Amino acid sequence: MVSEKVKTGKSGKYYSGHISTYSDRYMEKEIPKYEMPARGMPANAAYQLVHDETNLDGNPSLNLASFVTTWMEPEADQLMMESLNKNFIDHDEYPQTEVIHQRVVNMLGRLFNAPKQKKFIGTGTIGSSEAIMLGLLAHKFSWRNRRKKEGKKYDRPNMVMGADVHTVWDKFARYFDVEPKIIPMEPGRYTIGPKEVEKYIDENTICVGAILGTTFTGQADDIEGINKLLLKIKKRRGWDIPIHVDGASGGFVAPFVHKKLKWDFRLEQVKTINVSGHKYGLVYPGLGWLIFRDKSALPDDIVFKVNYLGGEMPTYTLNFSRGSATVLAQYYNMIRLGKEGYTRIMKNSMSNAQHLAKQIKKTGKFEMLSVAQVIPVVTFQLKGSPGFTVYALSKKLREKGWIVPAYTLPKDADKIAILRVVVKENFSRDMADLFFEDLIKAYDSLKKEKPEKKKQVKRKAEKRIC
């Protein structure tokens, strides 16, 4: 038993002897959960309380579900801490942060092979979701302006995309009243190409969405093929349909490991590209980028000019206030790593993912869907009927701390349930081997569990007979 005698000294009440770390330090009572408490508590107690609760979260290093960065260098952490108190939108107050933001836009414009221009056009966003919505809004306005000018109807805009798109595309369609024309998937085809797109486009199509690294399997739509089709249609029918490339994950991978793959502004109809700085841009959440091919792709309708922060400032983000830290961290990564550093990291992640995929395939227990061909993502389903589901396997892996999502593929391929492993910079070869061992242990353990359960059921049945 610990002694907790209260003595009174010159400085008032204090405890003598040992006390347990938390008792009597604001941790012995129920904590405020639903109503703001009338009185506060000391900073260290509040810190400890929140800190301890978040221990119940998963371990970010073992989170193979998320595409989002879970590790940065200490210098980047420091830089981010130093700029936590700067509101990014206050360009007049923090002009250098805005200069740095523009530098990143210019670097990305060049990286994505936008036509040569004095100042590349784009903006940082809170993530790819905001960037996609903005890009699609730009296409909606451009289409409407064109139709108005031609004296044609502009009340039924649509957009064409595969069922392999991220939810944000569906969100855009609903929030901004654009008819979504969704190309279904089928077992064995989890992306789209020109053959599928051709059947869906018409004069009211504001844009075609093409994905470089889908959320479901990490594969890529045939962007070059879709571009070729749209050029043919432009020539034949006069419909100038742009492509928005969702490079949320692939945008920071392809320029370094698939240099020959044409997916960016080298393709004429690609007018806007989004990329997540917080995915393979290697920055903590939330940072995305939207890059325009050139000024002609940015309609005036989406640009606002505000003067209430001092100076006149153009803005075309959906959000207003946001942190500066991630933007500065993106610039840090770009100058710290350079193209050579990004190439090394991306190649390493691809090779670790491919190594893992090879191991998984070799067991003969799984059917591989993707083996890190475009981005470092491995997806696989169970082979045959081992007597348990991918959901059970995912749950079993969680017992060891690994977070691996199990889910079904999009509509029309939704009978297929898979597991996905997203390999990030901090998933070393050693981690890949440890994960593989645990995957097989989990598989074998589930396989063994089944007869056990069967026996129990049998025993119960026997009892009843007696």
Binding residues (CB under 6 A) for ligand PLP: these are 67, 127-129, 166, 168, 211, 214-215, 246, 248-249, 276, 288
Return the number of the residue (67 or 256) whose C-beta is nearest ligand PLP.
67
| Alpha helix stretches (DSSP H) within 244-403 | 254-257, 325-362, 390-399
Comparing CA positions, the residue from 410, 436, 442 lying closest to residue 423 is 436
- At its nearest, how many Å lie between ligand PLP and the CB of residue 166? 4
Q: Count CA atoms within 13 Å of residue 251 on its CB side.
A: 32
* Closer residue to ligand PLP in complex, CB, 257/375: 375
**Cβ 140 to ligand PLP, closest distance in Å?**
18
CB 101, CB 323: distance < 8 Å: no
Distance separating the N- and C-terminal Cα atoms of the chain: 52
Orientation angle between helical segments 74-82 and 325-362, nearest 10 degrees? 150
State the residue number with the nearest CB to ligand PLP: 127
Tell me the closest approach of the beta carbon of residue 123 to ligand PLP, in angstroms: 14
Output 129 or 349, the one with its CB closest to ligand PLP. 129
Distance CA 215, CA 170 (A): 14
For residue 454, the tally of other CB atoms under 10 A from its CB is 11
- Minimum distance, C-beta of residue 197 to ligand PLP, in the bound complex (Å): 17
CA angle, residues 431, 256, 116, in degrees to nearest 5: 155
User: Residue 208, by phi and psi: left (phi above 0), alpha (psi -120 to 50) or beta?
Assistant: beta
Cβ(268)–Cβ(296) below 8 Å: no
| Cβ nearer to ligand PLP, comparing 133 with 206 | 133
Nearest distance from C-beta of residue 439 to ligand PLP, angstroms: 23
CB 279 within 8 A of CB 68: yes
CB of 112 to ligand PLP, least distance (A): 16
Between 215 and 326, whose beta carbon lies closer to ligand PLP? 215
Q: Quick one: 135 or 299, whose CB is closer to ligand PLP?
A: 135
CB closer to ligand PLP out of 67 and 252: 67
CB of 189 to ligand PLP, least distance (A): 17
Gap between the Cα atoms of 242 and 249, Å rounded: 21
Nearest approach, Cβ of residue 38 and ligand PLP (Å):
38
In Å, how far are 142, 164, 232, 300, 387 from 139, measured between CA atoms? 5, 20, 20, 12, 49
Alpha carbons 272 and 274: distance in angstroms, whole number: 7
Of residues 124 and 194, the one with the C-beta less far from ligand PLP: 124
Comparison of 204 and 274: residue with beta carbon closer to ligand PLP: 274
Measured from the CB atom, is 68 or 442 closer to ligand PLP?
Answer: 68
Q: How far apart are CA 413 and CA 193, in angstroms?
A: 17
Per-position DSSP letters for 110-121, written without gaps between them: HHTTPPP-SS--
275 or 345: CB nearest ligand PLP: 275
Tell me how far CA of residue 108 lies from CA of 242, 243, 301, 302, in angstroms.
20, 18, 24, 21
DSSP 366-429: EEEEEESSSSSEEEEEE-S--SS-HHHHHHHHHHTT-B--EEEPSTTSTT-EEEEEE--TT--H
Minimum distance of ligand PLP from residue 162's CB (angstroms): 11
The residue (of 224 and 246) whose beta carbon lies closer to ligand PLP is 246
Residue 348 Cβ vs ligand PLP, minimum distance, rounded to whole Å = 21
Write down the least CB distance from residue 134 to ligand PLP, Å: 12
Q: How many CB atoms lie within 10 A of CB 367?
A: 14
Question: Taking a C-beta distance cutoff of 8 angstroms, is the pair 58, 401 a contact?
Answer: yes
Find the angle CA(447)-CA(450)-CA(452) to the nearest 5 degrees: 120
Q: Tell me the backbone φ, ψ of residue 270, rounded to 5 degrees.
A: -75, 110
Q: How far, in Å, CA of 141 to CA of 127, rounded?
A: 22
Residue 276 Cβ vs ligand PLP, minimum distance, rounded to whole Å = 4
